[in-house]
Structure 1
């Protein structure tokens, strides 16, 4: 009997297993991104153990026994979809769906991979919500919506961040260039400018960006030279099957096109690349290549861009992807206005009406390749080349106390061409060693070259009675040609090992431990040579034409003795160099203390060595200065989940601020209105940081947050006018301490959203920052710490931080409407405002220099006519406000600098094959 029962049981089991399974397959897409494929979405056959995730192309496949089921598609930050499905033996049924953004809570879903599309606003908000650390990011989707063309403009759209008018300086919570840092894909990148610590962010076109992370709270994986913020640029990582796009457009500036004679210097190429440098035998003849005579140009700019991407499947699990972009854009600008310096009584020291003609170019080329061996191993290579140029012709007409001439006014002409190029090479890898152990690593080699070849300067007297110009000279440096070159090489390495801690009773990880090493090694070489023209008395009495100075400065007049040429130390250039090595070990533990409370405790140890050497006109025999520091940098973040949509976070840390090479090198930088000299006695500041943040996420694309922050800085570094005959600017540890505190508010809200198959919504974004800054000023401290070589005589014994505004406000209103799957419109109106900000600290009884409050308004309109063809229009600086800088004197504010930038309009088209 038992034997018969066993045979019957085996027969039934055989029939059961003999049933052929059916297959369910399909592709999931992202409705918000024009149905791009959605990788790593979850697919579950409800009521069974069958589940999977979509691959890198959004494809999925499931097998099941014949029957009727419900299949669920879900992805974090999106509304789940459930579809009934009937599986038949041996047959395949195809179900493809598009998911749209929705709520955050997904029940009965196993998350097997993180979100991939970091370009999307919803994905970045989700990452911000779920992370323990305090994060803030802006993605490619938001950048496109706001019509942002470069990273500098993008960063200035975030709360607590402002961009200094007329420069590339970015201020984070009132802290400028020296307090901030820049990286790309987590690896540091060097500066392109000898005057700056950070690379100019407007070099980076948003075409290469997937998202930008702005870290205003310190974590142990970042270098400790941090107080304001770190900007990390994540480069695009292509994932589609294939794409080729071409785009072009044109831009105009109203100031430039209204100028009848738009005059630029001759010599520099319109491409932004140059091949000339210091001429041969410049001291024995007039052998300079470029003309001093300006040429008229048509001030219409343009842009051209190519993008291409392709992915290939290799084997069962391998995936190889390529992405490349190449672009060129140029533009013209013109501005005119007052620029002057005054004494404490309001009397003019220098007073000019300035005209500034500008031509700018940017050439960008990027290539990256990523190879995924399987789900556990990935390697990628990024190459980026950026070449930017700026050509300016400045004319100053007015008076200078050092050029007293009762019968004539002074005219200064300066022509400058600057070319900066950056080459970035990065090798990045990620390896899943076990289910609990993950390895991230990265290597980079970067090169920066900055050239200022043949900057020209000439000064002339104009006699209105005779309508006559003559060469003006008080010192031999008044008429000059200047050549400058910088090269900086940097190697950096990151390695981090992550160990996932054990699961709790609900199956969630309790946290992770991360330990690793960072190394950064950079070397800078800088040289400059200036050729001064000593004008003879006969030459100073010779009439000249300001627009035809070649008629005076030529070989014949050199032979006739009207002028001679000399340089500091003959043909030996002034030089300075620097080496900086940083070795760092770090570790942090992220741990879930309870169901709602999470923590992250970090410690970083850095060994720093910085050496600067020089041989300049201030120290012809040369000098050298070295300092070594060991820094111990703790950090702590606590996150409390008030409920499913609200978080409360607290963060504190210790960091430092390093002086830069050029600030410690005994070298003088000369400009028309001021000069800067280095201070070898400069040393690092110490910073203590605190943040308290409350945030709520009503929907996947909505946010409201309030952040209170405070920073205490010991021995702050400042740029200040020192007591000297020429009122030079230098860099000093200005006092014992300083602090900044404030509050940031941010909201993103959908005003209306009409339900339907296609997007139709109006949304509002607002962020604001209110802050207060303070620092001590101690003249005796400066004198003692510089062995009496530098003295300051400030008007007050304290001040705010230079570059800090009490109020920064950004707002944007966006309307998006899709008419069908591949067509629609998007319009954004964006406004930016900053309140009065301190530009420079007053000295010698003079008041502070203050940039007055200003607001700007931009409009972006984009339309997609079909899957391939798009048109966009942009109008910037619609309000055309007047930029004003005043000196706060006892008798009232005195205007010392003003101009209007004019409106800029752009029209572009793109076609994707």
Structure 2
């Protein structure tokens, strides 16, 4: 209680003192280089020692000034000192002073402005934007991304309060809500998914080198699409407006687990570049496939990355400016996992039905090409074209050794499964954006986009071998006892998705106040999104015959079996899911596809009733149609149509206690739309022992969202905020275990309601901000800390009868309640950064960043089994960078320093295996059974950057 009283007293003193003081903030620009930001200039109160320096973006703040009139002096080495008299500081207010500096002339007072225009990649600028906005928006910019060493958008978002990254993917959980609750946009226009299993694009494929900032809106704004429950994540692509530059970066490194193995193995076929593809051969039933079944040894698994980027801008007239920016990059990464992989425990004895020692070798590539061209016409019109190409691939060589089926295949061990997979996604994005200020009251913004995504899995190969004799697990192996034809197969998949999107809005501002700003703003707009999806897949299964004549097979030379035993030997036949070659439609692929159309109109109203109180209200109407058709083995030919209209109101309130303190409230109604894959009755076999299919009877969920937050901005670069939130979800959608002989996964509205309540605390503080004067310049030293913590409590009803009555599927949930999938009770992020200038244009920066999430639900428990739970762990990264003059910089990144064990368990199981004696049946005691366990390894890399 004593500590609580002390904290409350300090906060009270801070608020009261802030009301008695004022501050001066602004931006310094350099007239010598097209008004680029002027960093590290000195700003002082004349006749005093009170002052500061501008940051990387030319921004500065002199805080806690007594009310009065001051003369401000701005100086920079080699530039004329600017002296601006008569600057008034008012208690509880911020005076903004922007100054253009010149080397050859003084500052004319008519050049001094009181409007701050800030770049969107600066931490300080984004924090100032967050302070001024009415809605609950958060952003992380390029400057912060570099400081925290985030290589991609997914990793960057994991540094934000209340957001965690899904293990093994580039998807994120926002306040415990996973992929289906979020929406991802690029420059405000929607993005397609690159994965049939996901609604959102994998954020891991967006390199931070192409990102100016990432905006995270955890509350619904009526100008955004209503398919929203967790967050609207908007990526702003990098732009450029300065003088010409060209930059080259080379990086090399390794993963400790990958380089720790004696040999590294991958698939036959795919190459270094990641642009590989392979078509089905002309006569597949004759076994004319060109790639090997066997793994192949590769060179040393060294990671590398290369980036080329440049930009320039030109004055085409007095008020016309053309700018362009382009970047090309290629990166590859090698990873290795070794651990255990087990199936769900049997209800009777607590032992997992399958029990494998598991190895996975993987090689990942990422190729990026991005360019944008911008044309500014006068002060009120701009047009921009963006192009983005992303090509991402991963090849995996996975091997499983042990018990395949405790009651059937290799019950005492000795079973062997290998799977070779190459998965490639190519994404093409074209965007045309326009902004037009018709006059000081009216502005129009518009944007159009054409997106095309192609995902291919060409020639996935799987082999399964069993001991010739079940009681001799270490003895010879063969195909003889493999009963299911699909256990040995070659699989081809192709997904094509085309999308056209359009935004247009018109904003009218009214009622100008004494500060020459408008109190009110009304925006009318339209959003359209039109998507076509086309998916097809064919699998060639090897059915083995004549069990008594099957020869022994060397697991490391499976090619030899097929070379010595051609199709004419009669030992096997090739068939698809539709049947053998004698069937007329044997080569007809399984397909699903369809169209999705969203047409929406919205209106928003913003009004400042005073300098302290602002209201932002909106309403949106969306007409959604989702037509899906399929031709699959599960249900033959069919179709299903979803046609709904949603009215989506929203409200946001902001009350400024003073210039440093805000109170915010937000409430809204949104929905969650099922995805094509979740509704398509197609059998996906994406993982060993993890098959799933869609449910055409799925309907959308309805979400009610509430937020309350307090913010304190001690300075232009500091923040303390505390927020609470709540969500009510009607008809939540979940993945569940279907009651069937196959135990497949599917999707359903598994209960009537779900709730989520939580609290978030965020802190960013400057511990040290010191300057040392030398003969030629001022050298800066700074130490900053940041951190955030989120607490989350979620609960949802589980109703097996609801699933049975509303769908053609059956469910048998073990529990009647459960947390939301992917929700962790506690999320923690923390970082400490040190910056030192040891000479002019020579500096060093280092950041230590940590992240923790507590255990979270992976899948609902069913048929007497407990939930599958991902255990929590801590990651720790060290990112360092040094610059030696204008041209050369080096970096050293050490990621995942603690290298924790990543573990998934089945809770409430009746026992756990004796891991010291795994061959002995039985269990030690009641407790969770580990079903997946491995280490990711530490990623070590060094980089060199040269600026021309």
Deviation larger for 399-408 or 337-346: 399-408
Call closer, same or farther: CA 1:78–1:838 in 2, change over 3 Å: farther
How many equivalent residue pairs? 848
Give, in whole Å, the separation in 2 of the partners of 1:311 and 1:691.
Answer: 42
**CA deviation after TM superposition for structure 1 residue 348, in Å:** 2.1
How far apart, CA to CA, are the structure 2 residues paired with 1:143 and 1:539? Answer: 62
Alpha-carbon distance in structure 2 between the residues aligned to 1:41 and 1:499: 32
Q: What SS class does the counterpart of residue 512 from structure 2 fall into?
A: coil
2:882 is the alignment partner of 1:863: yes
CA distance in 2, matches of 1:488, 1:33: 49
Q: Which residue of 1 aligns with 2:935?
A: 900
The answer on 1:440 being equivalent to 2:445 is yes
1:500 to 509, 516, 521: 509
Determine helix, strand or coil for the equivalent of 1:398. strand
The alpha carbon displacement at 1:469 in A equals 2.3
Q: Is the 8 A contact 1:610 1:627 kept in 2?
A: yes
* Deviations 1:11-65 (CA, angstroms, capped at 9, x unpaired): xxxxxxxxxxxxx9756553548999979999xxxxxxxxxxxxxxxxx99xxxx
In 2 relative to 1, CA 421–647 (structure 1 residues): closer, same or farther, beyond 3 Å?
same
1:597 aligns with 2:607: no
Task: Look up the SS of the partner of 2:130 in the other structure.
Answer: helix
Residues 795/315 of structure 1: CA separation in 2 closer, same or farther (3 Å cut):
same
The answer for the alignment partner of 2:37 in structure 1 is 30
2:933 is the counterpart of 1:912: no
Contact 2:170 2:205 in 1 (8 A): no
Rounded Cα–Cα distance in structure 2 between residues aligned with 1:713 and 1:466 = 52
Distance 1:263 1:403, change over 3 A: farther
Partners of 1:218 and 1:158 in 2: CA distance: 18
Q: How does 1:394-793 map to 2 (within 5 A)?
A: 394-401=398-405, 403-405=408-410, 409-462=414-467, 467-471=475-479, 472-537=481-546, 541-554=550-563, 557-569=566-578, 570-620=586-636, 622-670=637-685, 671-756=687-772, 757-786=778-807, 789-793=808-812
- Tell me the CA shift for residue 576 of structure 1: 0.2
1:391 aligns with 2:407: no
Shift of 1:93: 4.9
Q: Secondary structure at the match of 2:121?
A: coil
> What TM-score do the two structures reach when normalised by structure 1?
0.89
Of stretches 335-344 and 221-230 in structure 1, the one that deviates more from structure 2 is 335-344
Distance in 1 (CA, whole Å) between partners of 2:308 and 2:460 is 34
2:903 to 877, 884, 888: 884
Change (3 A) 1:679 1:832: same
> Which structure 1 residue ranges, 5 or more long, are not aligned?
1-23, 43-59, 62-66, 86-91, 98-105
Q: Distance in 1 between matches of 2:101 and 2:536?
A: 73
- Find the aligned partners of 2:702 and 2:129 in 1 and give their Cα distance: 31
Task: Give the CA deviation at 1:544.
Answer: 1.5
SS at match of 1:122: helix
**1:169 to partner: Cα distance:** 2.6
CA contact (8 A) 1:73 1:80 kept: no
> 2 CA distance for matches of 1:77 and 1:769?
31
**Is 2:821 the partner of 1:802?**
yes
Query: Is 1:287 the equivalent of 2:292?
Result: no
Does the CA contact (< 8 Å) of 2:876 and 2:895 recur in 1?
Answer: yes
- Deviation, structure 1 residue 507: 3.4
What residue in structure 2 maps to residue 192 of structure 1?
A: 194
Q: Of 160, 175, 178, which aligns to 2:177? A: 175
In the aligned structure 1, how far is the partner of 2:39 from the partner of 2:832?
18
Change (3 A) 1:303 1:667: same
Alignment partner of 1:128: what SS?
Answer: helix
Alignment partner, residue 223 of structure 1: 225
Alpha-carbon shift at residue 755 of structure 1 (Å): 2.8
Structure 1 68/271 Cα, relative in aligned 2: closer, same or farther at 3 Å? Answer: closer
Counterpart Cα distance in 2 of 1:356 and 1:253:
14
Q: Which runs of 5+ in 2 are unaligned?
A: 1-29, 42-53, 62-78, 579-585, 773-777, 911-925
Q: State TM-score, norm by structure 2.
A: 0.86
Task: Report the RMSD for the aligned CA atoms in angstroms.
Answer: 2.7
Is contact 1:449–1:487 with CA below 8 Å preserved after alignment?
A: yes
Partner of 1:829: 848
Q: Deviations over 1:626-673 (max 9, x none)?
A: 011111000000000000100000000000000000101111111312
Q: CA deviation at 1:362?
A: 0.2
Q: Any conservation in 1 of the 2:430–2:450 contact (CA below 8 Å)?
A: yes
1:844-870 Cα distance to aligned partner (Å, 9 max, x none): 111111111211101101000111101
Q: Answer yes or no: is the 8 Å Cα contact 1:68–1:84 preserved in 2.
A: no
Contact kept in structure 2, 1:160 and 1:172, CA below 8 Å? yes
Report the 3-state secondary structure (helix = DSSP H, G, I; strand = E; otherwise coil) of the residue aligned with 1:663.
helix
Query: Which secondary structure does the structure 1 equivalent of 2:621 belong to?
Result: strand
Deviation at 1:229, TM superposition (A): 0.5
Deviation digits for residues 399-430 of structure 1 (CA, Å, limit 9, x no counterpart): 12264346762111011000011111000000
Supply the distance in 2 between the matched residues of 1:211 and 1:547 (Cα, whole angstroms): 48
Q: Which residue of 1 aligns with 2:253?
A: 251
Q: CA deviation at 1:797?
A: 0.5
Taking the TM superposition and a 5 Å limit, the aligned residue runs for 1:85-484 are 93-95=104-106, 110-112=113-115, 115-283=117-285, 285-297=286-298, 298-341=300-343, 342-344=345-347, 345-401=349-405, 403-405=408-410, 409-462=414-467, 467-471=475-479, 472-484=481-493
